Structure 1
Amino acid sequence: MSDIRDITRETCGSYDANARTYTEASEDYEQFPGLHAEVVEFARLAPHHLPVLDLGCGGGRDSRLLASLGRTVIAGDYAPVMLDQARSRSTAGDRPPSFVRLNALALPIRPASVAGVWASGSLLHIPVALMEHALTEIHRVLIPGGVTAISMRTGEGEGWRNGGSMEGRRWFTFTDPDTFTKYLGKTGFSDTRIHYSGRPGWFVAIAVR
């Protein structure tokens, strides 16, 4: 396996190099069947008295939707140019998201301080050897009874891939729902439910701290 520093630097570098085109290409929920409903369901399930974290917010599409649903949102991403895209597209409203640069393996958030963590296609860039570490961080920042919803791609193996939805090289980790449910259980989560999305090859794991 490549060093995590190389994985983070190159994967996020690819997102930054394509930040505007990637953001514009992924803005329309109609291109991602079921995703809008998944965000709405997460907003409903997460307790309502504390913020929710959009972990790996990219261009901020889901952060803006969560804010429009009345949630207080922390929008976080490691790629700084992507984060700039999210910030620039945020409209002034009653609950605009707040933005923070963060690493999923060391979240700059106090323990038990958020009601929910939404991670749409972000943990698939975490290598298998560190997946439980990333889930432990999510568990740490959630309040008891808090909810996480994590979308992953089905399959086996991990490694570098070139191209796809944008130019550049990115690290991808594929997994199956049963294996990912075991990761969640090992890191303290319970009541895991698997939802097969309308997007071929994707599933969403919803679990409670």
Structure 2
Amino acid sequence: MTNQLKTLAFYNSNANSFVEQTIGVDMHQLYHPFIATLPARSPNQQHILDLGCGSGRDSIYFATLGFNVTAIDGSQVLIDLAQSKSAAKQDTIEWYCATFEDIVQENWQHKFTAIWSCASLLHVPYRELPELIEKLLHMLTEDGGLYASFKYGDSERIKDGRFFNDMNEVRWAATKQKITCDCKEETWLTLDQRADRNEAWFNIMIRRV
């Protein structure tokens, strides 16, 4: 079984506990800089792709602000649980079970004003990341932006059955050199907002220029 399949199996097997651990986490310290970079249009004229939506926490939040949201996760179990928590916002959230490979096959060029990939691209192998980010950037409108977060570190590893690609300043500098799309980025560190965690996260905000 490949690392990707093992990671997906973990989320399918632990979906309920994962939702319980993440659905109530306060993410406003990340929502604010993300929303601040969005184009100067009303929310109902914008479309956010939540890439790896997990519990649906962030998709639901963006929908409450009036944004149109496409929420994607590789785990159908997580999609079903997330949908059950978003009944009031079904009209502005489209839910899809899809892998990263499925997503890049969609005809979604210039469809989204923003892509939110919170703790999802960290499951992509380091060597594959530049190409995937490049394809995601082409799904953005000309003034769109992509947010991604990774556990802070300098290696690839397996933990509790999941594959992780950690990121730091050096690894990101090497990654962005392989991205040909014209863009600018900002990076910063934050601490995990879950009460039982003391991990650092490497955050990236990329804007097309």
Q: TM-score range with shorter-chain normalisation? A: 0.7 to 0.9
- Quick one: which amino acid aligns to residue 145 of structure 1? D
- C-alpha change, 1:175 and 1:92, in structure 2 (3 Å) is same
Task: Name which of 3, 7, 11 aligns with 1:11.
Answer: 7
The Cα offsets for residues 181-209 of structure 1, whole Å up to 9 and x where unpaired, read as 44235322522011222333102100112
> Alpha-carbon deviation of 1:57?
0.3
The Cα offsets for residues 102-138 of structure 1, whole Å up to 9 and x where unpaired, read as 2223413511111100001001111111111221221
Q: Does 1:101 align with 2:92?
A: no
Conserved in 2, the CA contact under 8 Å of 1:115 and 1:146?
yes
SS of the residue 1:38 aligns to: helix
Matches of 1:73 and 1:109 in 2, distance apart?
A: 17
Q: TM-score, normalised by structure 1?
A: 0.85
Moved over 4 A (4+): none
Matches of 2:133 and 2:182 in 1, distance apart?
A: 9
Conserved in 2, the CA contact under 8 Å of 1:70 and 1:95?
no
- Quick one: which amino acid aligns to residue 40 of structure 1? H
| Partner in structure 2 of residue 117 of structure 1 | 115
| Partner in structure 2 of residue 65 of structure 1 | 61
Q: After superposing the two structures, state which structure 1 stretch, 21-30 or 105-114, moved more.
A: 105-114
Conserved in 2, the CA contact under 8 Å of 1:184 and 1:190?
no
- C-alpha change, 1:152 and 1:206, in structure 2 (3 Å) is same
SS of the residue 2:113 aligns to: strand
Conserved in 1, the CA contact under 8 Å of 2:154 and 2:171?
no
- C-alpha change, 1:17 and 1:24, in structure 2 (3 Å) is same
| Partner in structure 1 of residue 187 of structure 2 | 194
Unmatched 5+ residue regions in structure 1? 163-168
Unmatched 5+ residue regions in structure 2? 193-198
RMSD: 1.9
| 1:23-172 equivalence runs, <5 A | 23-30=19-26, 35-47=27-39, 48=41, 49-93=45-89, 96-107=92-103, 108-162=106-160, 169-172=161-164
Matches of 2:112 and 2:19 in 1, distance apart?
A: 26
> Alpha-carbon deviation of 1:7?
1.9
Q: TM-score, normalised by structure 2?
A: 0.85
Identity of aligned residues (%): 24
The Cα offsets for residues 148-167 of structure 1, whole Å up to 9 and x where unpaired, read as 110111111112212xxxxx
